[in-house]
Amino acid sequence: MEVDVLLDNVKRKNPGELEFHQAVTEVVQHVAPFAARNPKYRKMAILERLVEPDRVVMFRVAWLDDNNNVQVNRGYRIQFNNAIGPYKGGLRFDGSVSLSILKFLAFEQIFKNSLTTLPMGGGKGGSDFSPKGKSDMEVMRFCQSFMTELARHIGANVDVPAGDIGVGAREVGYLFGQYKRLRNKFEGVLTGKGAEYGGSKIRPEATGYGAVYFAEEMLKRNNDGIEGKSATISGSGNVAQYAAEKLIQLGAKVLSLSDRQGTLYIPGGLTEEGLARVMQIKNEERAPLSVFCDSFEAEFREGQNPWSINCDMAYPCATQNELDENDARTLVENGCMLVSEGANMPSTPGAVEVFEGSKIMYAPGKAANAGGVAVSGLEMSQNSQRLSWDSEEVDRRLKKIMSDVHESCVEYGRENGHVNYVAGANIAGFVKVANAMLAYGVV
């Protein structure tokens, strides 16, 4: 089938799902020419089947708030593709969550998980519930109600959720507790668990660290390194915090973080002490980033993103489509030489075009942020073995996986001496899944 026909069909069958269309278009534009050169993929309609989720589960989540009022949210789990392993992917709790957003995330997850070299299929879920401004007990009641329905659809060998925006250690704890109670099973059904009940060392750090390890690999290929470089980061949640930690450890100067209210610009560079304060603000006080300026030298730029700040490297670690074509142009004009995406699909298609055209080192999320789900895969392995590895062991494996992901991107993305990491990630991720689908016949 022609690419245009395939994309038209996707748009027609999934009306209004703009983020999903965007994610499919980006993957298909690289994979379709590759698939066309391999008639077996074409003949067996691999791409046509890949863009159709195995199933989509949508459900009501009713819960009682602290005033005993009934609240109703919508829950989702997209089980997109389990050709190479159990469905695997995070849960997002945020007011913006829609079917389109979760389908884009689940679709991306198929290729990302394939790149990690571990046996994991693609899935994603969540709810339009936002934990912001809710008490711990409200979050608990919501999580228990959400899991009461979700439990029947998941399992350690079926579908293994984890965290994403709005879902961290607290939420995973409540979700796991409810699953265990409903099924009377202590099994590795969720990752990102607390250390006391089966969580892997380095899982909280993995996505942010991984995005920096991937940047290191790109730089190494050009006989360069992180030390002495300046970096802008967006977001100030899980991924941003640990990207900042690793960058500081490796001798880079972190100039910014951000949240929904704006950007924190730290001209002198974020210190370890400053980062500890950010973690306290975001993880314990659950307060706006702007309060950082009460005790540290920094400027808060209300309503702005970090992309106008001069930097050598940019790490978008907040959310989808947070960096547009103009931002990309500004970054490149200001001398930014590397972009490593901690978030999923943070750059708009126009921005991606600017990065590709400028030939800077540009790593898309499905490669650069694969460290998070990779350590989730390692958590599954440890749970199955009923063993837990120490931090050094997990970090060593994470580094090796990021280096392997990088190698795969180079292998499939080489273009006249330059590496197109977007093409490389999409094609490398596709091949393994496509070959497994071929083995199963028409299903």
Which positions lie near ligand NDP, rule CB under 6 A? 163-166, 168, 207, 235-240, 259-260, 282, 317-319, 322, 342-344, 369, 372
Quote the CA–CA distance of 202 and 238 in Å, as a whole number.
12
In the complex with ligand 2IT, the residue whose CB is nearer, 101 or 255, is: 101
Active-site choice (88, 124, 134, 201): 124
What is the closest distance, in whole angstroms, from the C-beta atom of residue 301 to ligand NDP in the complex? 13
Q: Is residue 253 within 8 Å of 229, Cβ to Cβ?
A: yes
Q: b/e for 82-108, b at 16 or more Cβ within 10 A?
A: bbbbbbbbbbbbbeebbbbbbbbbbbb
Only one residue has tokens 């996986």, namely 401
Quote the CA–CA distance of 123 and 80 in Å, as a whole number.
5
88 binds, among ligand 2IT, ligand NDP, none (CB under 5 to 8 A by kind): ligand 2IT
What is the closest distance, in whole angstroms, from the C-beta atom of residue 14 to ligand 2IT in the complex? 20
Alpha helices per DSSP H over 132-233: 136-150, 169-183, 203-221
What is the closest distance, in whole angstroms, from the C-beta atom of residue 385 to ligand 2IT in the complex? 18
Q: Which residue is nearest to ligand NDP (CB)?
A: 237
What is the closest distance, in whole angstroms, from the C-beta atom of residue 358 to ligand 2IT in the complex? 26
What is the closest distance, in whole angstroms, from the C-beta atom of residue 374 to ligand NDP in the complex? 10
Q: In whole angstroms, how large is the CA radius of gyration of the chain?
A: 21
User: Given the rule CB under 6 A, which residues bind ligand 2IT?
Assistant: 88-90, 109, 112, 162, 164, 191, 344, 372-373, 376
Q: Please enumerate in sequence order all residues whose Cβ is within 8 A of that of 408, keeping only pairs 6 or more positions apart, or say none.
A: 115, 424, 425, 428
What one-character DSSP code corresponds to residue 222? T
Which tokens in the block code for residue 191?
A: 């990752």
348 binds, among ligand NDP, ligand 2IT, none (CB under 5 to 8 A by kind): none
The helices-and-strands tally (H runs, E runs) of the chain is 16, 14
In the complex with ligand NDP, the residue whose CB is nearer, 178 or 320, is: 320
In the complex with ligand 2IT, the residue whose CB is nearer, 145 or 344, is: 344
In the complex with ligand NDP, the residue whose CB is nearer, 162 or 332, is: 162
In the complex with ligand 2IT, the residue whose CB is nearer, 100 or 376, is: 376
What is the closest distance, in whole angstroms, from the C-beta atom of residue 399 to ligand 2IT in the complex? 17
* Type and span of the H or E element at 32: helix 18-36
What one-character DSSP code corresponds to residue 155? B
191 binds, among ligand NDP, ligand 2IT, none (CB under 5 to 8 A by kind): ligand 2IT
* Degrees, nearest 5: CA angle 216-222-224: 55
In the complex with ligand 2IT, the residue whose CB is nearer, 230 or 340, is: 340
In the complex with ligand NDP, the residue whose CB is nearer, 135 or 222, is: 135
DSSP per-residue string spanning 325-373? HHHHHHHHHTT--EEE--SSS-B-HHHHHHHHHHT-EEE-HHHHTHHHH
What is the closest distance, in whole angstroms, from the C-beta atom of residue 44 to ligand NDP in the complex? 31
Helix 421-440 vs helix 391-413: angle between axes, to the nearest 10 degrees? 90
3-class SS of residue 188: coil
Q: Please enumerate in sequence order all residues whose Cβ is within 8 A of that of 53, keeping only pairs 6 or more positions apart, or say none.
A: 78, 79, 80, 81, 103, 106, 107
What is the closest distance, in whole angstroms, from the C-beta atom of residue 415 to ligand NDP in the complex? 26
What is the distance between the terminal CA atoms of the chain, rounded to a whole angstrom?
A: 18
In the complex with ligand NDP, the residue whose CB is nearer, 51 or 202, is: 202
- Give yes or no: 399 in active site: no
3-class SS of residue 105: helix
* Type and span of the H or E element at 394: helix 391-413
Active-site residues, by number, are 124
